[in-house]
Structure 1
Amino acid sequence: MPADTRPPAIALMGPTASGKTALALAWAQRHGGEIVSVDSALVYRGLEIGAAKPGAEERARVPHHLLDLRDPWQTYSAAEFAEDARAAIADIVARGRLPILAGGTGLYFRALLQGLSPMPPADPATRAGIAAEAQARGWPALHAALAEVDPEAAARIGSTDPQRIQRALEVYRLSGRPISAWQRAAAPPRLPCRVLKLAIAPDDRADLHGRIEHRLDAMLAAGFLDEVRALRALPQLRAHPRPLELPAIRAVGYRQAWEHLDGAGSAAEFRDRAIFATRQLAKRQYTWLRGERDLRWFDPARDGQRLQRALDAFLGTR
């Protein structure tokens, strides 16, 4: 097989508060890189402190892409992200710079690196029928039914994963085509670079939990609640009938802060709920990362030298 001569790019993945941003900044400065944010909160204007958005000083040191693309009352899809990210990466490569993709939004990484399947949208009637069958027969029985029509998907999906079983059966019943076939047909256009995929993830969850608490306390000290008060005062959000359903306000921390300012619990209770929500986000991110192929794992506290060697080998530097 001929060598891949495309220029390099780095994908820095990992759970929230694992240290991806600091590492991306250091590497970008050292290797002539530019950062492409892969974070579904950072696309929204006005989400600054609570989203840990890079500030003016960091942006002056290193060019950043895909920040502040939408107002907080607007939406932004994974498909839009993939298109915008491809354009940013092509521009960075064309200027001889190193793209560093950094963030924790798994769906965005999947849309960019693997593509999104143009499969049938959700159908409430079909879903209701599947749910009724599950109530009568149990999800393991529906998993067995899925195995008959789509053994590839059934092998990937656990028998106790109702959401994915339901979606796979829904797609098959709506289209007559297995969901695995839709997913295979979703190969995205080839990126103009070869990508080294790295997971920055502490081995010790207690370490990550401590980082989460420390970061939230720093955000509160920096005025996070005042930031949410300013969002609540925006006319477009004041007029919105269900602001808590907006993707921007559903971002971890923001939803809990919004509810606290609505009178739901004390400041201490808000802090506890925000920490719990952030830990749950990290847990989902670990689950997604474990399913990623060609991903190399590093503990930021223990594997610094090994991580640097992996980067140097990929870039061909010493």
Structure 2
Amino acid sequence: MLPRGEYIPLESAIASLRREFPEALKAIAKAINSFDPRTEFDRETITGSKYGNSIPGFALTYGQLGAYLDIAVSKYASVLIETEVGVIESSHVAVNREWLLNQREYAAHQPEVIREVALRSYASKGATVTPILPQLEDQTPEVARTELRKLKIRIERNLTIGSDDQRDREIERLQGLLDISNADKVAATDEKTALARMVKTLTIENDQLRKARAQTAQPFVSVQPTASKAKKHTPTNVEIFNEEVRATRKAVAERARPLWLHEDFADHRTMDMVRTIRCLAETEPMGRLPETDEVLARWLSEDAAPPFAKRPGRPRKEKSKK
């Protein structure tokens, strides 16, 4: 259990900072984003706690906190945050109060923060003033997940720029997701627009890279190919669907295993875990779950369930001896 008073929930702390001192929040986000995004915070600075107990395997990187703060600077303090154990509620992430106060104190002495505060103070003296920062917007978990997903894609692109073949495969993967979204009409308009923009951006970047390499490449002797180039295999809708099912099944198993190890779920049978997974899927992206509980229970039984969870029925309670 965390010491009372030493830690505060991330969501309420950032929401309060955004209302009272948005200039400092912007400076803190800039400082966090200047670190290596793969570096993790130590548990004394930021930790995860749920219902008074530590979250097993919890870890948060500078890149993940920076993405969360970027949303807070531009829109709102999100109710969800991406961590090394998946997407969780930001109210379950606890920040060391003294560390946060030190960050605020340091930001308050930065020249750009002092300048922005002075401008806001000057503007507030007018009769009618347009706010420097946009008003805090209402937010739903679906909107928060969409923003986090976009920022996650952006962070991963900045960390690794692969070869042409890797980039081509990424374009094909995104194009496939876009085609499925258009065919089935299950994706939201914002998500389809983001995918289309990403495909367009990567295609333009690929063309620019190839042109630059062609201009700087040394001349070479042309050699006649000995065999015709093999035609690229375009995956069918069935293959794409099967790959999504495999990815969903893997995500369900990886989510269920740590839950069974936790004391709160140690006595859960397979069908109990089915109900738990379906509840979590409402806020955590796991893919498209099976329509029936029987199929989901078979996945869990084959991939993640410990031996005791596969036994039928519930354990019998022993009668107290009189």
TM-score class, shorter-chain normalisation, is under 0.3
Larger relative contact order (CA 8 Å, sep ≥ 6): 1
Q: TM-score, normalised by structure 2?
A: 0.26
Q: Output the TM-score relative to the length of structure 1.
A: 0.26
